[in-house]
Amino acid sequence: MVRECAVWLLVSGVVLPAASCSWILDFSDQAIPRDARPDAPYTAAECSYREPNDSLATAAAITPADTGPAAICAGATEDHDFYRFTVPAGTARVTIRISAVYGIGADLDLKLHDAAGVLVARSTGFADEEVLDCVTAGLTCPMLAAGDYVFEVYPGTSDSVNRYTFSLALTAM
């Protein structure tokens, strides 16, 4: 891509050229130094990660080894991703984290449900990261009893789409 531009100044009511520039952007692998990848909200593979997982009933089973990447994608209906995991007996802390890649204008949020679908906790900030840290006297999430849980990644606003990674950490007592 070649882009030319000129900067103009308004001096005493007269527009005068002040400077000009030319940028050549090369996104090929031969460019040295390599330019950044063009921004894209997500890939098809990220959209289809662990699908179908669009409801509590179809939540994808995960372990702490699973991390994505996944994406909340544009579609006919608002996309939500659900992930099911098990808290074993003797767990002192559960930490769930999602990290969005492109945070500006693409806010993602996080909810945690018990096996019956009852909301346990949520994180609805505006940063690129949402965290639920479930411990005794936790501020964002209470300590979790042994059993099955589901966390939900969803758009913070109705038009938010974004790629993300997630992590699940289970700490024994």
Task: Please state the domain count of the chain.
Answer: 1
118-133 pLDDT per residue, tens = 999 999 988 889 999 9
3-state secondary structure of 87: strand
Report if residue 98 sits inside a domain.
yes
Provide the residue range defining the domain that includes 133: 44-172
Report if residue 67 sits inside a domain.
yes
pTM: 0.75
Q: Do 6 and 17 form a contact (C-beta atoms < 8 A)?
A: yes
CATH of the domain at 117: 2.60.120.380
Reported as half-sphere exposure (CB side, CA atoms, 13 A), residue 99 has a value of 8
pLDDT at 40: 57
60-81 pLDDT per residue, tens = 999 999 999 999 998 888 999 9
Report if residue 27 sits inside a domain.
no
